[in-house]
Amino acid sequence: MANSSQSKLINLFDYETAAREKLDAMVDVYLASGAADETTLRRNRECFDRILLKPRVLTDVSCIDTRVDLFGQTLDHPILLAPCAYHKVFHPEGEIATAQGAAQSGAILVASTFSTVSLEEMAKCGARLWFQLYVNPDRSFTRELIARAEEAGYQALCLTVDTPTLGSRDRERRSGFALPEGMERANLKQLGTRATRAQHHKEGGAYNILDPSLTWDAIEEMRAWTKLPIVLKGILSPEDGRLAVEQGASGIIVSNHGGRNLDTAPATIEALPIVAEAVGGRIPVLMDGGIRRGTDIVKAIALGANAVMIGRPYMWGLALEGADGVARVVQILRRELEIAMQLLGSASLQLITREVLWKASNRT
């Protein structure tokens, strides 16, 4: 299966087309849609396409180094798998297949609080894992969840801070998306069925298990609970970038939740340089939203990112080919990154600076 389909699936857009043909309409809408008029969702892609690159020649690109250091570890490449909920609706093995694919491709998987496999089960697959945390109004439960993740070997805590409530996901609402019978938010079992059943837009849905009263004090609170690095996901403003550093965050992720929360927020590649400047290199800055090409990764790094995350693309891989599909998506992107680096004349990620961006004023 993998070989015959792989020959046709050359890039991530091929995976998108093939997955969308295969997926049930409601599941496809759940994955593809954004908030409200989907202005931000579209913009995440459009803005990447508007940025042009400036190749340099004759620089010895015989050896390409995509390694990056993050929180004391060296990663082979800067591509992480962003937290996405409910993998079992895409593939019967759910997050187990995703974690196996992550292990195969050397990508860190940021496991969602809303996974359909428990965090402990995922930890058995040999992948490097971070745990994405939605803070629950029940703080003792949240504390326990963090302890479970640390105990299971997760290497960082990714605290999603852009979701005091879900965005106005009109398309998803119209589709009536809910977790099918037999699937549940496996990490939340202790909280009972109102928490484990995902009916986003009905009573008992996500609204009851996200805490909109969260403030910056949460970082200090969690620092007392865990030794893991705390990475804030969902920063878009320079003010919050600065505050994240001051309040002791270990890193941030510039993200608009894949266009699923506040519509008409900027594309992440627009916000990235402004936020990165405010952070000033004091902590690592990651970004996600619309990464589909190796050249997108180059642009993100040039504008201040240390690494990037992909969301929907690996879910297309998962839906089509399980673990192998997840791995293939990462491998394609990594290969495209290497090609882009060679053609740009940048042999390592450290050499990718704003100099690789084409500006109309580039005349010297």
User: Under the rule (CB under 6 A), what is the footprint of ligand FMN?
Assistant: 30-31, 44, 82-85, 112, 114, 132, 160, 233, 255, 257-258, 260, 288-291, 310-312
Q: How far is the CB of 182 from ligand FMN (least distance, A)?
A: 19
Q: Which is nearer to ligand FMN, 17 or 59 (CB)?
A: 17
Residue 348's nearest CA partner among 15, 25, 60 is 60
Q: Which is nearer to ligand FMN, 35 or 341 (CB)?
A: 35
Collapsing DSSP states into helix, strand and coil, what is residue 331? Answer: helix
| Nearest residue relative to ligand FMN (C-beta) | 311
117 touches 96 (CB < 8 A): yes
Q: How far is the CB of 41 from ligand FMN (least distance, A)?
A: 8
Active site residue 257: yes
Residue 345's nearest CA partner among 49, 51, 54, 68 is 54
Q: Which helix (H) or strand (E) holds 73?
A: strand 73-75
35 touches 263 (CB < 8 A): yes
Q: Which is nearer to ligand FMN, 31 or 61 (CB)?
A: 31
Residue 233's nearest CA partner among 247, 252, 259 is 252
Q: How far is the CB of 3 from ligand FMN (least distance, A)?
A: 26
The two three-digit tokens of residue 63, written as one number: 């050896």
Q: Which is nearer to ligand FMN, 114 or 154 (CB)?
A: 114
Kindly give the pairing relationship between strand 230-235 and strand 251-254: parallel
Q: How far is the CB of 255 from ligand FMN (least distance, A)?
A: 5
Residue 244's nearest CA partner among 229, 256, 225 is 229
Round to whole Å and give the CA distance between 256 and 6: 31
Q: How far is the CB of 192 from ligand FMN (least distance, A)?
A: 20
Question: Hey, what amino acid is at 191?
Answer: L
Q: Which is nearer to ligand FMN, 61 or 149 (CB)?
A: 149
**Is 107 exposed, middle or buried (CB count within 10 Å of its CB: 0-12, 13-18, 19+)?**
buried
Residues designated as active site: 257
